[in-house]
Amino acid sequence: MGIIDSTNTEAKRRVATGFHDQWIIADQQTAGRGRQDREWISPAGNIYATALFREPGGLPVALRLPFAAALAVTDVVLEHAPLTDVRLKWPNDVRIDRRKVSGILVETGGGGPDFWVAAGIGVNLQPPPENVTQPATSLLDLGMRPGTPVDAVFSSLRYAFARRATQAREGFGETRKDWLERAEALGQTVMVRTGDTMAEGIFEDLEDDGALLLRLPDGTRRSIRAGEVDIRRS
């Protein structure tokens, strides 16, 4: 598609005018965005793509898809850089040594048979620019063979996402299990910001709806369904 503002924004435009299930891809984005409207710097040479589709399972399935998308990116990283120790930071950050290799933004709308999902996935193939707001890495940094075509990596992503989305539609059990196997800071103390408040506790588990289960210092448990996790270094 060349240069575009954002593949997710384009997906919403297509929803408004009628659409069929599809992938929207771009060479560059001028207004790429992630969770909480963070800027996603989008130079040429990387993957910027959105899977736009109707989801018959509605919101219950859609809530699983950020985890499915993170696992799909994990599958792609391990295919092209097999020795990588990939870790998943709740809910859908894909990180290696605390550096992000991907940006994921799942948006939804509509209802009933017209319920739609726009699953935006960006993957760094090229070393990230120096002005990114969070520590980042790329598939080339992780050992991907130089010269690997972007199309080849996108093909891997499309296949992996289809498989992981199917897994999520069949229930959250297997997706949850696979995600927890790579969970970053599971069993460790984390800080979680929810709105203007902070909670500190041990990241104990992932609930059946994807919520982070936090054990607080007083021994009680708290389920967090939206927030930003800060992982302390050991």
What's the token pair of residue 48?
């910027």
Q: What angle do CA 176, 180, 181 make, to 5 degrees?
A: 120
Q: Which of 40-44, 90-94, 146-150 has the lowest mean pLDDT?
A: 40-44
> 121: closest CA among 209, 212, 6?
6
- Report, as an integer, the average pLDDT of 88-102: 95
Total-model pTM: 0.92
Q: Greater confidence, 185 or 44? A: 185
- Tokens, residue 121: 């996935």
Give domain limits for the chain: 3-181, 189-231
Non-local CB neighbours of 164 within 8 Å, separated by 6+ positions: 68, 69, 71, 72, 75, 175
**Where residue 31 falls among pLDDT bands split at 50, 70, 90?**
low
DSSP three-state, residue 133:
coil
Average pLDDT of 191-213?
91
In terms of C-beta density within 10 A (0-12 exposed, 13-18 middle, 19 or more buried), how is residue 77 classed?
Answer: buried
Q: What is the third-level CATH fold of 3-181? A: BirA Bifunctional Protein; domain 2 (3.30.930)
Asked if 28 and 3 touch (Cβ cutoff 8 Å), the reply is yes
Contact 191, 229 (CB under 8 A): yes
Across 145-181, b (16+ Cβ under 10 Å) vs e yields eeeeebeebbebbbebbeebbebbbeebeebbebbee
- Cα distance between residue 5 and residue 33, in whole Å: 9
CATH class of the domain whose range is 189-231 = mainly beta
Give the span between the Cα atoms of 7 and 30, in whole angstroms.
Answer: 10
- Residue 107 confidence (pLDDT): 96
